[in-house]
Amino acid sequence: MTASAAWRTLLGDHPSTRALRQGRVSSPALRLEFADVAVPNKAFKRVVRDLEFDVAELALMTFLMARSRGVPLRMLPIVLFSRNPLRYLVCRAADRFGPDALAGRTVGVRAYTTTTAVWARALLADRCGLDLDRVRWLTYEEGHVAGVEDPPNVRRDAAHGDLAAMLLDGTADAVIVDPVPDDPAVARVVADADGVWDDWKRATGADTVNHVVVVREPLAADTGRMAELLRLFRESGDAGAGRLRRSLEAAIAAAGAQRLLARPLALDDLLIQG
């Protein structure tokens, strides 16, 4: 395998990627040119709309929605990070309520299709019995993928760009926000968020994967370089893919149930095998 032109790469600073980004893990046959983007999610539209990057970090639900609409990206069996989405769903402490009281209330979130929001809704429906169609959503940004329409219970208002303020001034009854304000006036909607999350993981054998690594589909056909790329990621840190297949199945089911996919997806249509 001979060296080729550098692949333009979008990759955040994670414990599992630091050695790769710093050049402590490298390959003479595969050069990665890292884009100067401090916060990768600010460039996710460029990943799925412009196909600007050869290798890119991407939110899982963004990838699934894009792939279902024919965007030519494939996914490496690499998980950059997973997290508990219920930790980020908060309300006012003075007006605290549980997940069963979300029906009929307004929840603020940056965009309806964010991966954290999709996973949060999936867990609320599955473990808390919430009827998702009865929740009103207030957003201030469109999603990353073109052509994904918000459902009727979503209202977008660009004037509301501060989720913490939206919560504290009463514009929203709850918000999904990261980071959660370090403020005693804010409380979790799901009091035992970790317990509910752990229960869901035990029941499904899945994890709420947040960010993954994707490759432009024409490059994904080069099996030699894909094997080398996988080696680089695995040497840089833990690939975190132990529950990946079950996690992808759960993610596809969640996105499908929330009417975010343009067509059904199968694992073989997503993954670059390594």
Question: Per the CATH hierarchy, to which homologous superfamily does domain 7-83+208-269 belong?
Answer: Periplasmic binding protein-like II (3.40.190.10)
Quick one: tokens of 252?
């596809």
Neighbouring-strand partners of residue 10: 56
Instruction: Give per-residue burial for 80-92: e unless 16+ CB within 10 Å, then b.
Output: bebbbbbbbbbbb
Q: What are phi and psi of 80, to 5 degrees?
A: -80, -40
- The C-alpha R_g of the chain, in whole angstroms, comes to 19
What does the pLDDT read at residue 4?
72
> pLDDT (tens digit, 9 = 90+) per residue, 219-272?
999 999 999 999 999 999 876 778 899 999 999 999 999 999 999 999 999 999
Distance CA 37, CA 60 (A): 19
Spell out the domain ranges in the chain: 7-83+208-269, 85-204
What does the pLDDT read at residue 2?
53
Q: Shortest CA distance to 51 belongs to which of 88, 7, 109? A: 7
Q: Report domain 85-204's class.
A: alpha beta
What does the pLDDT read at residue 16?
87
- Cβ-in-10-Å burial (0-12, 13-18, 19+) of 16 comes to middle
> pLDDT (tens digit, 9 = 90+) per residue, 169-224?
999 999 999 999 999 999 999 999 999 999 999 999 999 999 999 999 999 999 99
Q: What's the whole-number average pLDDT of the chain? A: 95
> How many CB atoms neighbour CB 184 within 10 A?
8
Same fold, 7-83+208-269 and 85-204: yes
| Better-predicted residue by pLDDT, 1 or 89 | 89
Q: What is the pTM of this model?
A: 0.96
